[in-house]
A and B are shown apart, each in its own frame.
Chain A
Amino acid sequence: MSYFTPLAVVGLALAAAPGVWLLEQLVAGQRPAPGRALRDLRIMLGSPLQRPESCDSALFHLAPSLLVLASVVALATVPWAPGFRGIDLQAGALLFVAALAYVTPAMVMAGWGAGRPLAVLGGFRWVALMLAYAMPLAMVITSVAAPAGSLRPTDIVRVQHAVPMAVAQPLALALWLPAVTAVCFLPPFDLPQAGGELFGGVFAEYRGLDLALVALAQRVLLLAVSGMTAALFLAGWEWPLLPPAVWMGLKTAAVAWLLLWAGRRFPRVAVDRALSLAWRVANPLSMLAIVYAGLLTLLFYR
């Protein structure tokens, strides 16, 4: 790993903010106004931090940094092109899931640290939701890793040379997309902050730099999961004619577009319904997906 790699990943994380912002505006059907967005950002960064009325304000102020750290590590595991791949490890896909797992303690810290009932409720909702979606997420990673016989994302991209995993394992993709939307706390799974219901929930008390870090972390998360979806399911850079990085960028943008569009298209899922869906439908189906992946691997990939 050269010194260039960490710099490139941090650069990519910083580029995620304007990139995803632009996509959000386009999905919303609004003409992007960068001037106004920059002014809003300056006001946000200029306003002082909120001091919560709880004894755990340290947890409250640590949570956004933990969110950013988790999202940047997740982003670093995404294989963007044959040459550029951040942290390319034997167990890269596992590191991706491990990084996403740290969004959960960050949410609990933010909710508990804010010391407001609705914030604590938002944090605990998130725990219940992530507990329910952790298994499908891990099972889907295992299912797509099985044909490659490796947890290295680069190997998983290479094995899709002939058939993308989205075609070979549509069930795994169907389980993966809602789970990663929930991980990014994007609508329709924005249960921890839940605009009209918890009045901002875990993030209601955040101001200034804290709020900017949360907003950045959410966009980096979206970029990371979109990139990983493109790599694990849409064959990453493995398509002809265009340069590899361009393919990867196009596919990532398409996945991010789909996730943002779904957030505008569907109403927020009620928390009991989301939990019931996860435990009664997604978890059993993820077992089915892994059996299917095993059969597929034995029949076609050996």
Chain B
Amino acid sequence: MSDLATAIVFWPAVGLMLAAAVFVFITSSMARAGLLLLASLAIEGLVFLALGSRFLGFLQLLMMSGEMVIMVFFMVMFMPDPGGLMGMDMTHDKRRSATVAVAVTAALGLVAVLTDWPARVVGRGAPDVRAIGFEVMGRSMISFLFAGMTILLAMVGGVLLAKHGGRFGLPAAGDEQSGEHSPPEERS
């Protein structure tokens, strides 16, 4: 693609991607939040394609569809208000998290702007590509495997912790119900 065509695809796609990402935090419906996140990440895949990275773009599209749908599944299963109809506020500790978010965004932005990116395009079959392949499949493999196992453990642990209390948390002292507890308004 020419530079102009890339720019025509790139900027609107990036705008849409960011808009979808912002809406993830505005909506209180778990299903909408998950699907908007999927939309955002799928558009990111299209941005990769626009920048000429086909394999990465397809991989992003492929992985994100499955992963985000699984996330929707788990959020609907475990959240007390999956449809966002009870007006429950999912955020907490707002000032501190906003500070951290702004600081991290600024730091990453600075890194992106100040880094001296190489201007040279690496062609197919270049020694760099080979070297990355050997690095990923060789020495770095053990860290990837370790990271994968850690993520799996974290997922299983998270599910166990959430399952213990059921969807609406552990029963309070006076509650009669046991097991899967009923939502607050049905209790009295």
Contacts and interface: CB of A to CB of B under 8 A. Distances in A.
Interface of A: 55-56, 59, 89-91, 94-95, 97-98, 101-102, 104-105, 108-109, 112, 124, 127, 130-131, 134
Interface stretch (B65-73, B90-98, B107-115, B164-172): B65-73
B82 to A, nearest CB: 9
Interface in B64-85: 65-66, 68-70, 72-73, 76, 83, 85
- Counting chain A CB atoms within 10 Å of each CB, the highest count among B31, B32, B59 belongs to B31
Interface of B: 29, 31-32, 35, 38, 54-55, 58-59, 61-62, 65-66, 68-70, 72-73, 76, 83, 85
A95 B58 contact: yes
B19 to A, nearest CB: 15
A98 B73 CA distance: 20
Contacts of B59: 94, 98
Contacts of B69: 104-105, 108, 127
Contacts of A90: 54-55
Contact of A97 (B54, B62, B72): B62
B65 A91 contact: no
A124 B58 CA distance: 25
A40 B73 CA distance: 36
Given A56-B29, A59-B32, A90-B54, 9 more contacts: A56-B31, A94-B59, A105-B68, A108-B73, A112-B76, A124-B76, A127-B69, A130-B66, A134-B66
A101 B58 contact: no
Contact of B66 (A55, A56, A131): A131
A124 to B, nearest CB: 6
Given A127-B73, A131-B70, A134-B66, A94 B58 contact: yes
A101 B62 CA distance: 6
Nearest to A126: B69
B32 A91 contact: no
A59 B35 contact: yes
Contact of B54 (A56, A89, A109, A130): A89
29 contacts: A55-B29, A56-B31, A56-B32, A59-B32, A59-B35, A91-B55, A91-B58, A94-B59, A94-B62, A97-B62, A98-B61, A98-B62, A101-B62, A101-B65, A101-B66, A102-B61, A104-B65, A104-B66, A105-B69, A108-B31, A108-B69, A108-B72, A112-B31, A112-B72, A112-B76, A124-B73, A127-B69, A127-B73, A131-B70
